[in-house]
Amino acid sequence: ASHRLKGIASVRPVTPDGKEMELSANISSLKELDIALGSGTYGVGLFRTEFLYMDRHRLPKEEEQYDVYRSVAEKLSGRPLIIRTLDIGGDKQLDYFELPEEENPFLGYRAIRICLDKTDLFKTQLRAILRASAYGDVKIMYPLISSVEEVQSANALLEEAKRELVAEGIPHRSDIEVGIMIELPAAVMIADLLADEVDFFSIGTNDLVQFTLAVDRMNDQISHLYEPYHPAVLRMLKTTVEAAKRGGIHVGVCGELAGDIRALPIWLALDVDELSMSANSILPIKERLLCMKQQNSRRLFDDLMVCRTSEAVKQLLHDFNQLAE
């Protein structure tokens, strides 16, 4: 089977009725990049940068980060690379960085909230990303955005970093594209406003499911309630993609659901631009995409939207996918 799949690594990911999908990789290390390139990845839709900050005793310097970002950008030889700024906190801790003990770490001091508080830390990363952007199609993505103000504050620091680089005569992309993760219900509900502020959305279904259903994604005792096919989640996805389309911006998906073969008709029906997933999922998803009509997915989606339960959603998807097999 893997031999058969290898054969489609260089085939264009397009449905029989002409919908082309960007199939990209999520990476959190340099090793994963090689697997992605072997699968004919469109680009990197999510570069998780936490590993640079973890398993060490101090913050990574600008130069260290720049070296890593630049080498990934160069290895991608022109393919898009979305670098997500630090998403620490919640389940991810740093030994050398005093994070307060919190009752609810997932709702606490984390991700963009830390970056907008510790602006030196944030600007160091922004400068490193900007410098690497001179060597590839690099874009910036902010995690855990809940408001327009947060985007504007982050962008103000980005502009500051650009001004510094200009003054220092250091090359970078002054028109670097900026996007945000849509992973909080608040972001979904103001997606129309956020679309005016950024160049792209990437839907983080892992956190979006967790926060929509108020189900801790790390808690085994309630894992049966963590249901990506909940009708509430479907409505969140629809609202987000429609807001992106109306705003004329690129929209992708980078949570686990992007690489879940059962969900593919949903993305085709919504007409998302990009699916970013673990590198191992790219070829299986592409194989299915090559034989699945967008038109049929759209008809299915109308039926999904009137399902009253997760079970009903999953049953319809199951029946539809059986036909595609």
| Binding residues for ligand PEP (CB under 6 A) | 46, 48, 87, 183, 204-207, 254-255
Q: Report the run of H or E that residue 22 belongs to, with start and end.
A: strand 22-27
Position 324: which residue type?
A
Q: Which does 254 bind (CB under 5 to 8 A by kind): ligand PEP, Mg ion, none?
A: ligand PEP
Residue 89 carries which DSSP code?
A: B
Sketch the per residue contact string, 23 through 42, with Mg ion: x for CB under 5 A, - otherwise.
--------------------
Q: Which does 205 bind (CB under 5 to 8 A by kind): ligand PEP, Mg ion, none?
A: ligand PEP
256 counts as binding Mg ion under rule CB under 5 A? no
45 counts as binding Mg ion under rule CB under 5 A? no
204 counts as binding Mg ion under rule CB under 5 A? yes
Confirm if 22 and 43 have CB atoms less than 8 A apart: yes
Residue 148 carries which DSSP code?
A: H
Q: In angstroms, rounded to a whole number, what is the distance separating the alpha carbons of residues 271 and 288?
A: 16
252 counts as binding Mg ion under rule CB under 5 A? no
Single out the residue of 22, 137, 177, 207 in contact with Mg ion (rule: CB under 5 A). 207
Name the residue nearer to Mg ion (CB basis): 179 or 265: 179
Q: Which does 255 bind (CB under 5 to 8 A by kind): ligand PEP, Mg ion, none?
A: ligand PEP
Q: In angstroms, rounded to a whole number, what is the distance separating the alpha carbons of residues 308 and 304?
A: 9
For the CB of residue 202, give the shortest distance to ligand PEP in the complex, in Å. 8
Name the residue nearer to ligand PEP (CB basis): 252 or 265: 252
Burial category of 318 from C-beta neighbours within 10 Å (exposed 0-12, middle 13-18, buried 19 and up): exposed
Confirm if 46 and 84 have CB atoms less than 8 A apart: yes
Helix/strand/coil percent split, the chain, to 5: 55, 15, 35
Binding site for Mg ion (CB under 5 A): 183, 204, 207
